[in-house]
Structure 1
């Protein structure tokens, strides 16, 4: 069952995690310490009679703390009692060590061909073991890493939560790769700042001789408004990947540098935005392409809020060339197109589709307004829609200061035509309201 003592110790810690999760979620007494150590009809243990303990609570506590217990059958008993399959697969963990080294280098160099080749190898190595205790956790981590760097695919919320708890079984290099992705997931995607901060602290402790975690460390420093620290972190990363000539990492780091300079110091950032775009345009792979398209929008967004609409329009045009689905932020793109009277940009917006997803009624409310504007409905209709539909959503479901200001400006421009000046009173009442 165990390739080495480390695997045995980690298995004990895994048993604790899964037992406590089962106990907390179901309040099932069979997963309490007192019940968990008892032999049962479904889970016998040698000659011990049903209902008798197979070991003391002290032994279970030592095992769950990661202290090595000599009796491997005791581990197997507890693993099976948790409902997992357990078996021995000689050679897999030594192959994992080899794969880990190669995968770390492939990600560092953003070698998508090598990452793809390693993904196939991982599937072959774990063909029989991928559903078994311990091997399943290692396999899942490796798959999450390869999926992220090949297809920009995030782990599910359930996967992320489980990986966060079980990543201690991984070697340091795979742990760093996974921790970067988990930080990305918790910080950027689900905005769980408590876990994001814990992962940031963890990322600063890795000593694998690389700057792979620079982007995510800098992201947290910017969130904390530690602009000089963020810039120093990014500059070190840029110097590192310049030497290695890795366009993908340079592309994301130059963008981060521009954002830190723009937000923290208000310096001219156009050269760094240009470097970012150039590097990503010269990178292969789905992740690089998705980052590139996002950067087209994000850069346009920055110029839009700086009221540099002509430059913003250039980036928004490039963004829309990639046929993105509708998001709420496309309202700003539409406003930019109207301010510029950019017919090319307006024609691209006209074919933007709304993708149906679960719980998307909120987004559809904004999409309907987006379509009404493109169809050039009357100011009175737009005004009524804002008052009766948009404000209802902003009041109860999605409070955003930027969107509130956006629709205030929209409404004020309409009032000049409709002459419904009482609407401004509604605006004042709305903006003073706070969500409970």
Structure 2
């Protein structure tokens, strides 16, 4: 069952995590400490009579804290009681360590071809073991890393929560890769800042002789408005990946450098935006392409925010050339196109499609307004839609200062036509309302 003592320690800690989850989730007394140590008809243990303890609670507590217990059969007993399959797979852990090192190097160099080859090798090595206790955790970690770097695919919420709790069993290099992806998930996608901070604290302690985590470390430092520390982290990362000549990492780091400078110091950042775009345009791979398309919009939005509409339109055009589906942020592109009377941009916006998703009623409201503007609905219809449908969303479901200001400006322009000056107060004192 166990390749080494480290695997025994980790297995004990995993047993604790799963037992407590099953006990708390279902209130099933079988997973309380007192009943978990009892032999049963379905789970006998040597000559111990059914209903009698196979060990003391103190022994279970030591095992679950990661202290090594001499009798491996005790681990097997508890693992099977949790409902997992358990078996010995000689040589697999040696291959896992090798594959972890190789995967780390492939991600470091953003070698998509090598990552794809490793995917096939990992499937082969773990084919029989991937549904068994301990090995399933390792297989999930490999799968999530490969899906992220090959297909720009995030782990599910359940997978993220599982890996967040169980990543301690992984080799240091694989754990760092997983921690990067988990930070991306919790910070950028689900915006759980409590867990994001814990992962950041882990990232700064890794010592795998690379700057592979610089992007995510800098992201947290920027969130905390530690601009100089963020810039230092990014600059060290850029220096490292310049030496390695890895355009993917340089592309995302240059953009982060521009954002840190733009937000913190308002320095001229166009050169770093350009570097970011140039590096990502030279890089193959789906993840790099997704980052590139996002950066077209993000760079455009920064120029739009600075009221440099002509440069913003240049990047917005590149963004729309990739046929993205509608998102709320496209309202800003529409506004930019209207301010410039840019027919090219307006025509591309007319080709944007809406993809129905679960619980998408909120974004559908903004898409409907987007269509009304493109179809040149009357000022009165636009006004009514804002003060009823849009206002309801912003008041009760989705608080966004940028969108509140956006629609405040829309309403200001519309009432110049309708002369309904009283509706100008709709977005005043917005903070007095509480989202349900």
Give TM-score, length-normalised by structure 1: 0.99
Deviation at 1:27, TM superposition (A): 1.1
Which residue matches 2:343?
Answer: 343
Q: Distance in 1 between matches of 2:193 and 2:61?
A: 32
Which residue matches 1:223?
Answer: 223
Which residue matches 1:395?
Answer: 395
Which residue matches 1:10?
Answer: 10
Q: Deviations over 1:207-258 (max 9, x none)?
A: 1100000000000000000000000110000000001100000000000000
Q: Deviations over 1:68-90 (max 9, x none)?
A: 11111111110011010111111
Which residue matches 2:138?
Answer: 138
Q: How do 1:325-336 and structure 2 match up within 5 A?
A: 325-336=325-336
Deviation at 1:134, TM superposition (A): 0.2
Q: Determine if contact 2:317/2:345 at 8 Å carries over to the other structure.
A: yes
Q: Deviations over 1:238-295 (max 9, x none)?
A: 0000011000000000000000000000000000000000000000100000000000
Deviation at 1:424, TM superposition (A): 1.6
Deviation at 1:435, TM superposition (A): 3.1
Q: Secondary structure at the match of 2:355?
A: coil
Q: Distance in 1 between matches of 2:391 and 2:335?
A: 18
Deviation at 1:64, TM superposition (A): 0.5
Q: Deviations over 1:75-112 (max 9, x none)?
A: 11100110101111111100011111111111110000
Q: Deviations over 1:296-319 (max 9, x none)?
A: 000001100100000000000000
Q: Does 1:74 align with 2:74?
A: yes
Q: How do 1:197-212 and structure 2 match up within 5 A?
A: 197-212=197-212
Q: Distance in 2 between matches of 1:258 and 1:173?
A: 28
Q: Does 1:167 align with 2:167?
A: yes
Q: Secondary structure at the match of 2:258?
A: helix
Q: Distance in 1 between matches of 2:432 and 2:25?
A: 41
Which residue matches 1:108?
Answer: 108
Deviation at 1:431, TM superposition (A): 5.5
Q: Distance in 2 between matches of 1:127 and 1:213?
A: 30
Which residue matches 1:56?
Answer: 56
Which residue matches 1:299?
Answer: 299
Which residue matches 1:125?
Answer: 125
Q: Distance in 2 between matches of 1:108 and 1:67?
A: 34
Structure 1 unaligned runs (5+)?
none
Q: Determine if contact 2:227/2:264 at 8 Å carries over to the other structure.
A: yes
Deviation at 1:358, TM superposition (A): 0.4
Q: Distance in 1 between matches of 2:282 and 2:182?
A: 27
Structure 1 segments of 4 or more deviating over 3 A? 429-432
Q: How do 1:410-425 and structure 2 match up within 5 A?
A: 410-425=410-425
Deviation at 1:430, TM superposition (A): 4.2
Q: Does 1:379 align with 2:379?
A: yes
Which residue matches 2:289?
Answer: 289
Q: Does 1:254 align with 2:267?
A: no
- CA RMSD in angstroms comes to 0.9
Matched positions, count: 436
Q: Deviations over 1:166-224 (max 9, x none)?
A: 11111111111111111111100100101100110100001110000000000000000
Q: Distance in 1 between matches of 2:414 and 2:365?
A: 19
Greater Cα offset, 43-52 or 113-122 = 43-52
Distance 1:311 1:207, change over 3 A: same
Give TM-score, length-normalised by structure 2: 0.99
Q: Distance in 2 between matches of 1:303 and 1:426?
A: 28
Q: Distance in 1 between matches of 2:430 and 2:230?
A: 37
Which residue matches 2:323?
Answer: 323
Q: Secondary structure at the match of 1:63?
A: helix
Q: Secondary structure at the match of 2:426?
A: helix
Q: Distance in 1 between matches of 2:54 and 2:427?
A: 69
Q: Deviations over 1:109-163 (max 9, x none)?
A: 0000000000110001111111000000001001111111111111100000010
Deviation at 1:433, TM superposition (A): 2.9
Q: Distance in 2 between matches of 1:38 and 1:194?
A: 38
